[in-house]
Chains A and B, each alone.
Chain A
Amino acid sequence: MAELTESLADFEAALAAVDTSAAIGVVDDLLVAGVAPVTVLTGVIAAAQRNVGARWQRGDWTVAEEHAATAVAAAATEAVARHARLTPITRGKALVACAEREWHALPAMIIDCALRADGWDTTLLGASTPPLRLGQYLQDLGPDALAVSCSMLGALPTTRRFIEASTTAGIPIVVGGAAFGPDDLRARALGAAAWAPDAPSAVEAARALPAVVPAVAPLPDAAVAEQAALELSHRELVASLLADWQVDPGLEVAEDAVQQVLHAVWAGLMTGDPRVVPQTAAWIAEILRSRGEDPEKVTALGGLLRTCLRDYPLAHSLIDNSWPAFVH
Chain B
Amino acid sequence: MTTGDGSWDAESLRSGDLRAGFGADLQASSELADDGTRTPRAEIVEAISLAMAGSLNLRRCVLQLLTAVRPELADWAMVVLTNPRTGALTLYGGDDPSATGKASRRSVAGQALDRILTTGRTELLHVSPDTAVADGLASMVPTKVLREQAAQLRPVDVLGLGLTARGVTLGALVVVRGQGRGFSQEDVALSELLASRGSLALDSARLYEQRSRVAAALQASLVPAALPVVPGVDVAARYRPAIEQLDIGGDFYDMFGAEDDWLAVLGDVCGKGVDAAVLTGRARQSLRTAAHFERRPGALLSAFNTVFHEDTSDRFITLVCLRLRPAAGGRSADVEIAVAGHAGPVVVRADGRAEQLEIEGTVAGVLPDVDYPTTTVRLEQGDALLLFTDGVEEARGQEGFYGLDRLLNLLGEYAGAGADAICGAVEQDVVEHLDGRSHDDIALLAISCGGPTGWQN
- A residues contacting B by CB (< 8 A) are 16-21, 62-65, 67-68, 70-72, 74-75, 92, 101, 103, 105, 127-128, 130, 132-133, 135-136, 138-142, 144, 168-171, 211-212, 214-215, 235
Contact = CB atoms under 8 A, between A and B. Distances in A.
A170 B65 CA distance: 10
B452 A72 contact: yes
Contacts of B56: 139, 169
Contacts of B63: 170, 211-212
B245 interface: yes
B64 A170 contact: yes
B54 interface: yes
A105 B431 CA distance: 15
Interface string B42-58: 00000000010011111
B403 to A, nearest CB: 19
B418 A72 contact: yes
Contacts of A63: 413
Interface-centre pick from A72, A135, A212 (highest chain B CB count, 10 A): A212
Interface in B419-449: 420-421, 424-425, 427-428, 431-432
Given A67-B424, A68-B418, 6 more contacts: A19-B453, A67-B421, A68-B452, A103-B424, A135-B245, A170-B67
Given A168-B54, A170-B51, A127 B428 contact: yes
Main secondary structure of the interface of B (DSSP, over half): helix
Contacts of A67: 414, 417, 421, 424-425
B216 interface: yes
Given A75-B420, A130-B245, A133-B245, A212 B97 contact: yes
A212 B64 contact: yes
B443 to A, nearest CB: 14
A170 B420 CA distance: 36
Contacts of A135: 245
A170 B50 CA distance: 11
B349 to A, nearest CB: 14
B252 to A, nearest CB: 18
B431 to A, nearest CB: 6
A68 B384 CA distance: 13
Nearest to B96: A211
Interface string B206-223: 001000100010000000
B383 interface: no
A164 to B, nearest CB: 10
B289 interface: no
B234 interface: yes
B57 A74 contact: no
21 contacts: A16-B457, A18-B455, A19-B451, A20-B418, A64-B417, A65-B455, A67-B414, A68-B414, A68-B421, A71-B420, A103-B424, A130-B245, A133-B247, A140-B57, A141-B57, A168-B55, A170-B51, A212-B51, A212-B67, A214-B51, A215-B54
B425 A64 contact: yes
B212 A18 contact: no
B157 to A, nearest CB: 26
A168 B417 CA distance: 42
Interface residues of B, number: 42
A103 B430 CA distance: 12
Contacts of B244: 130, 132-133
A20 B236 CA distance: 13
B60 interface: yes
Contacts of B431: 128
A149 B414 CA distance: 25
B98 interface: yes
A20 B457 CA distance: 16
B331 interface: no
Q: Which of B67, B236, B246 is the most central at the interface, judged by chain A CB atoms within 10 Å of its CB?
A: B67
B59 interface: yes
B37 interface: no
A120 to B, nearest CB: 14
Contact of B420 (A21, A74, A92, A133): A74
Interface of B: 51, 54-60, 63-64, 67-68, 97-98, 208, 212, 216, 234, 236, 244-247, 398, 413-414, 416-418, 420-421, 424-425, 427-428, 431-432, 451-453, 455, 457
Closest 4 CB pairs of A and B: A142-B57, A68-B417, A130-B244, A71-B420
* Residue among B414, B420, B425, B427 facing the most chain A CB atoms (10 A cut-off): B420
Contacts of B60: 142, 169-171
Contacts of B55: 139, 142, 168-170
Contacts of B424: 67, 71, 103, 105, 127
A230 B453 CA distance: 43
A141 B57 CA distance: 7
A196 B154 CA distance: 41
A255 B67 CA distance: 49
A246 to B, nearest CB: 26
A115 B245 CA distance: 24
B57 A92 contact: no
Nearest to A167: B54
| B58, B212, B421: most-surrounded residue (chain A CB, <10 A) | B421
A17 B187 CA distance: 70
Contacts of A21: 451
A169 B57 contact: yes
A168 B55 CA distance: 7
Contacts of B421: 64, 67-68, 70-71
Contact of A18 (B57, B64, B413, B453): B453
A1 B193 CA distance: 60
Contacts of A214: 51
B455 A128 contact: no
B452 A20 contact: yes
Nearest to B435: A235
Contacts of A138: 57
A17 B425 contact: no
A17 B455 contact: yes
A240 B451 CA distance: 42
Contact of B98 (A16, A18, A92): A92
A214 B48 CA distance: 10
Contact of A139 (B67, B208, B414, B457): B208
A72 B414 CA distance: 14
Nearest to B425: A67
B181 to A, nearest CB: 23
A145 B151 CA distance: 31
A139 B204 CA distance: 12
Contact of A128 (B97, B208, B428): B428
A105 B427 CA distance: 12
A103 B245 contact: no
Contacts of A127: 424, 427-428
B54 A17 contact: no
